[in-house]
Amino acid sequence: MAPVRLRGPNGISTIQVDLTSETYTVQDLQQEIRKATDILPSRQILKCGYPPRSLTLIPELPISSLGLTPGDQIIVNDDPSRAPPPAPAPAAIPRPAAASSQPTSSSAPEHVPTDGSFLIHRVVPDDNSCLFSSVALIFEQDISKAAKMRQIVADGIRKDPETYNEAILGRPVEDYISTILKPSTWGGAIELGILAAYYSTEIASIDVETGRIDHFAPGADDGGMRCLVIYSGIHYDAATLSPMADAPDEWHQTVFPVKSRGDDDSVLIAAKQLADKLRAKRAYTNTSTFTLKCEQCGKGLTGEKEATQHAKETGHTNFGEY
């Protein structure tokens, strides 16, 4: 048996798993996780490594199909939408429901009321393209256009070599461009600044852990509009306005007029409240202090900065949390 750490909604725990047995299955692992977290196997979302990769859960397969190693940490999330449908309730005499604009579904996305609408947390896939998917959702209403967002960034760098030089990018310009075009590469502040300029719209990024708002201004072509992304430390999502918490996607407003250049704009106040709700659920990762191990050479590292530097020096890209 080998120790495997679990990071779930209720904190960190350790379980013992037989990683070498061909008779120990993914289902056996999920049952152990259920004992430790009370999350049903049908509702478990499991991720491992750094950047976190989703584990494909096929219950009948041996545990070796997940590629886990002793000391790995598994991030466990609960997805209520995966729960089996409840048994039908006995028929009852219907009665009129009280009118309400508040959502009643437990699976509704996180949201906060603002100015007669709701600011909705719009979750995008955790696939290393989350920044680009979020911006594509906002400006193109289609997360499948994440690759287009990457191309916009590449073109923006080429068109402005004075601003985006090797010193700013941290590597040769063409090397940076070829890397950012790959779907496995994360985006950050440089990319948000270029996309804000391209769409003539401020992009306000709200940090879940601290509540800080970073404003990426569009520059000279400011159209007086703003949009929102939510940053958890390792993942970006979008935030959009909707008349109801469970309204169809096409009803959502993804860009908003700038009412104030300060953080007292009503939309930004709502965004900070949304971050407060996510922080209360510990839906963030402190990338400057979490401890990592290079799975290729075993070196211990602290935070994203050291991991990035190690990757540059060695070419190693497979990291796990201690």
Catalogue the active-site residues. Answer: 127, 130, 235, 316
User: What is the DSSP pairing of strand 2-8 with strand 11-17?
Assistant: antiparallel
Q: Helix 146-159 to helix 189-198 angle, to the nearest 10 degrees?
A: 90
The answer to whether 76 and 6 have CB atoms below 8 angstroms apart is yes
